[in-house]
């Protein structure tokens, strides 16, 4: 059997879809609605008057028969005026659909018409008068705006003043349509009661329908706003802190298409050796490891009100200072970076519990003026940041090894004297016009009071030097292959190496172990030169950036068992 409730609902939905929401129609269409309401309201009165002229016996005893023709002429005049307004409204539907003068002038006309009718039957002794005032004022408010409602009230007020003044000076008669009060021996005239009740019920019914419809629409709008707010929180809550997100919800204009110049602190993070690591693991394990890592890092970013612009593979692009202004953005960005590096301990604990390898992250920070905002098309856009400063942050991050935070001169100046600087280097990034000084941050004082946790123990001196071959991937001698060297000291994440040729600070090396079986010697591992010996430029400290498990196992076994006595 068909579901009648669903069928009715479907019919209503089709009707709403076809006609739309009447309260959201154009003003010219609403004027046509108002004309229809007025014609229905006074059309019944005109029909009664016409019948009363033909059949006097149906006329209420209290009414003045000689006034019927006069009343009928007034109503016909106003109906002709309504016809003119209907034509105007129909023409304005295309030319000027939201014409205010058309709506406002028509509001005045219907107010005058209604008052003349009410004054004729006794405005002060007929409750329908005040019901009509309220009805028309509410209709004007619901269909148009507060100004239309106020105009209706002002028109009624002016008509009251004119009527009362005319009565005081003997120019006008009170209730000229009546020859006597509609009461006989304390009883109201039945026909009079029916006519007034009909008018009152019609007015109440119109107001109820419009008010109920409007209030229902408001409730639905509120539900939609709440749903939209929750949707925004679910969507943008993955990228923005709660404070920033609430700011955007309160000020939606900040999400409009377009951008502006803004001074921000830009953070770039990247996992070291993750590409090589992901090639050795199953895709599901890689995704599991990334999700666990980002779950921790995103919470830290939100803790410092950072805005996540993009997650690119294993990298994060975060800005501080947009869309919400942040006066201490440089300090917050540095504190966030330190907290993120320290949080890697928790991330690696979870990885070990799941049988996954440990991760290391490098972070670069830069302060610059960039263009930030919603960039794209009207169909697809994203909150983005554009400018040379973003590229420079990426260059700085590329120099960082696992567990390291590097900042530009602009970030150092923005943060002030609260930083603990563990070192500085002069580099020449790609695209830079002059050398760039970058600083290694070890901690920040002040209200944050954070420092990087020491995770790499001091290198142990090996009893026997470990031969290796290396290839320069960056620097003046890039491309030199199979250069020989020896590992003389070893820690968990770094090694001190004697090279047979010169190396440059921050140069990247691809290395292979020597004097081992063929399977192990063909396994590449990578590192970055982080320090040169002051006494010998051929001795350097290399921080490992990507080491296969078998090579790492071999090196750590040597570190544990093949060290000089007393130097472990």
**Digit-coded pLDDT (tens) for 310-335:** 888 899 999 999 888 888 999 999 99
Residue 474 has pLDDT above 80, yes or no: no
| Domain identity same for 24 and 156 | yes
Q: What is the pLDDT of residues 521-553, one digit of tens each?
A: 899 999 988 888 776 767 889 988 888 888 988
What pLDDT does residue 485 have? 92
Which residues make Cβ contacts (< 8 Å) with residue 247, sequence separation at least 6?
254, 323, 324
In this structure, is residue 226 part of a structural domain? no
Question: What's the rounded Cα separation, in Å, for the pair 367 and 501?
Answer: 37
Give the CATH number of the domain where residue 485 resides: 2.40.10.220
- Which band of pLDDT confidence, cut at 50, 70 and 90, is reported for residue 42? confident
Note the pLDDT tens digit of each residue in 161-188: 999 999 888 888 888 888 777 666 666 6
8 Å CB contact between 335 and 344: no
* Domain match, 441 and 475 both: no
pLDDT at position 1, please?
45
Write down which residue in 158, 193, 218 finishes a domain. 218
**Which helix (H) or strand (E) element contains residue 375?**
strand 361-376
272 and 189 inside one domain = no
Higher per-residue confidence, 286 vs 384: 286
Low-confidence winner among 97-101, 134-138, 558-562 (lowest mean pLDDT): 558-562
Find the domain containing 407 and state its range: 256-451
Strand 450-451 with 460-472, pairing: unpaired
Q: What is the CATH number of the domain that holds 389?
A: 3.30.70.1230
Predicted pLDDT of residue 195: 64
320 and 465 co-located in one domain: no
DSSP-derived secondary structure for 464-490: EEEEEEEEE-SSTTTT--SEEEEEEEE
In this prediction, residues 384-389 reach a mean pLDDT of: 89
Same domain, 375 and 277: yes
User: Quick one: average pLDDT of 4-28?
Assistant: 59
What is the chain's Cα-based Rg? 42
Question: For residue 75, is pLDDT > 90?
Answer: no
Q: Which among 7-11, 199-203, 517-521 has the top mean pLDDT?
A: 517-521
pTM of the model: 0.59
Question: pLDDT band at 461, cuts 50/70/90?
Answer: confident
406 and 447 both lie in a single domain: yes
Q: Are residues 211 and 276 in the same domain?
A: no
Pick 21 or 123 by higher pLDDT. 123
How far is it, in rounded angstroms, from Cα 370 to Cα 367? 9
Per-residue tokens: 411? 């970030």
Q: What is the pLDDT of residue 441?
A: 95
Structure tokens of 232?
Answer: 């925004």
Contact 497, 540 (CB under 8 A): yes
> How confident is the prediction for the chain on average, in pLDDT?
82
* Pair 360, 344: CB distance under 8 Å: yes
Residue 464: the pLDDT is 85
């Amino acid at each position: 059997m068909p579901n009648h409730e669903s069928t009715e609902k479907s019919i209503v939905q089709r009707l709403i879809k076809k006609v739309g929401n009447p309260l959201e129609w154009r003003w010219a269409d609403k004027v046509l609605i108002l004309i229809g309401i007025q014609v229905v309201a006074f059309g019944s009165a005109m029909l009664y008057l016409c019948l009363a002229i033909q059949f006097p016996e149906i006329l209420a005893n209290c009414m003045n028969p000689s006034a019927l023709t006069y009343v009928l002429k007034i109503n016909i005049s106003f109906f002709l005026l309504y016809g003119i307004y209907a034509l105007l409204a129909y023409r304005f539907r295309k030319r000027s659909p939201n014409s205010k003068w058309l709506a406002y002038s028509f509001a005045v006309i219907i107010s005058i018409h209604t008052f003349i009718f009410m004054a004729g039957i006794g405005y002060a002794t007929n409750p329908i008068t005040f019901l009509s005032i309220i009805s028309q004022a509410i209709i004007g408010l619901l269909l148009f705006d507060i100004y239309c409602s106020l105009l209706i009230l002002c028109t009624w007020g002016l008509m009251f003043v004119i009527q009362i003044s005319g009565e005081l000076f003997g120019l006008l008669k009170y209730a000229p349509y009546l020859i006597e009060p509609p009461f006989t021996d304390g009883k109201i005239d039945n026909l009079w009661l029916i006519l007034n009740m009909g008018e009152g019920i019609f007015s109440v019914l119109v107001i109820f329908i419009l008010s109920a419809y409007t209030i229902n629409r408001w409730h639905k709008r509120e539900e939609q706003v709440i749903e939209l707010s929750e949707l925004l929180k679910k969507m943008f809550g993955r990228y923005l802190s709660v404070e920033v997100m609430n700011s955007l919800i309160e000020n939606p204009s900040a999400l409009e298409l377009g951008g502006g110049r803004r001074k921000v602190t830009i953070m770039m993070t990247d996992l070291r050796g993750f590409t090589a690591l992901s090639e050795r693991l199953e895709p599901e394990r890689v995704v599991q490891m990334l999700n666990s890592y980002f779950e921790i890092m995103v919470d830290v970013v939100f803790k410092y009100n950072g805005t996540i612009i993009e997650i690119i593979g294993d990298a994060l692009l975060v800005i501080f200072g947009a869309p919400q202004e942040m006066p201490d953005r440089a300090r917050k960005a540095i504190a966030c970076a330190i907290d993120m590096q320290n949080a890697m301990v928790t991330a690696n604990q979870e990885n070990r519990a799941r049988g996954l390898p440990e991760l290391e992250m490098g972070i670069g920070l830069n302060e610059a003026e960039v263009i930030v905002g919603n960039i794209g098309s009207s169909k697809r856009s994203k909150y983005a940041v554009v400018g040379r400063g973003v590229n420079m942050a990426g260059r700085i991050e590329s120099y960082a090894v696992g567990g390291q935070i590097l900042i530009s001169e602009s970030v150092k100046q923005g943060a002030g004297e609260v930083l603990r600087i563990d070192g500085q280097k002069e580099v020449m990034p790609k695209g830079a016009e002059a050398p760039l000084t970058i600083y290694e941050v070890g901690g920040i004082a002040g209200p944050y009071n954070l420092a990087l946790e020491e995770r790499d123990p001091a290198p142990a001196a090996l009893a026997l030097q470990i031969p290796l071959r290396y290839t320069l991937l960056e620097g003046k001698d890039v491309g030199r292959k199979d250069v020989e060297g020896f590992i003389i000291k070893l820690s968990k994440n770094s090694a001190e190496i004697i090279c047979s040729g010169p190396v440059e600070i921050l140069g990247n090396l691809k290395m292979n172990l020597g004097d081992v079986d063929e399977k192990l010697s063909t396994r590449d591992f990578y590192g970055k030169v982080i320090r040169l010996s002051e006494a010998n430029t051929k001795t350097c400290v290399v921080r490992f950036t990507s080491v296969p498990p078998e090579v790492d196992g071999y090196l750590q076994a040597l570190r544990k068992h093949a060290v000089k006595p007393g130097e472990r």
